[in-house]
Structure 1
Amino acid sequence: MPKFIATLAGLLTSGALLYYFQNEIENNTSQIRSKLHKTKNQLEDSLPSQLKDSSVSDQNQLIHPSKRPNVRPQLPIPSITQTQNYINHRFIPTFKSSWNDQVANIANKFTSFDASESAKNAKSFIEDKWNKNK
């Protein structure tokens, strides 16, 4: 019965923590997206009127930077979908496996813990220290 209780406690704790962190990640991701969208809009609004009118032609030139005179080609910026793929396919599975290993180790220590033996060891240790101090 104690193994069942320890396993159940471990499952409930890990489930609650997993739900909490998943909710936090979703909230943080939505906040980041809204800040990016707001910043993009601010940058577009801050463009001079000449650039706003030619925004379509500039977008075509960004695709082919070699056609623009005296402009260095820009390095590609990794997209959000690449980051999401990395998180979903690499980071989260690694985190889950290490988390599950740690929860299993803790549950194993709880189930193999012998309170009476530990109490005897503590009692003998305290008695030894008490007798040395006298």
Structure 2
Amino acid sequence: MPRAVSTLTGLIVVGAIAYKYRDNVATETADIRGRLQNVKSTLDDMAAGTVHKAIDNPNISLAGSYIDPYPKVAEAHSYVTQRFVPSVKGTWNDHVSAAASNLINSDLPGKARKVFVEKVLGESDK
């Protein structure tokens, strides 16, 4: 009975953690999509303004500019590379190492041998 209770408790905890991670990923994804939409609209506005300025004044050039022309893109890129990807990678690594640890500690070959001896050979394992 204690094993069933601990297993059920473990499943509930794992389900709650998975739900929380899924919620965090959905929230962060929506935030990134919103930021990317803002960047797209800003870039579209900048492109439209640059085209009109270039038409009005052909001497304007952005080639020698030291100002970052796409600050929102750089911000989104740094967010994805510094926070989102490591978070997903860390979560993935934790889950894989936990699954491998559980598989190693489960004594699966011993259980398989016992089932084989009892069910196939018809002998009791002593």
Which category of TM-score, normalised to the shorter sequence, fits these structures? Answer: 0.3 to 0.5
Q: Which has the higher contact order (CA 8 A, sep 6+)?
A: 1
* TM-score normalised by structure 1 residue count: 0.43
Larger Rg: 1 or 2? 1
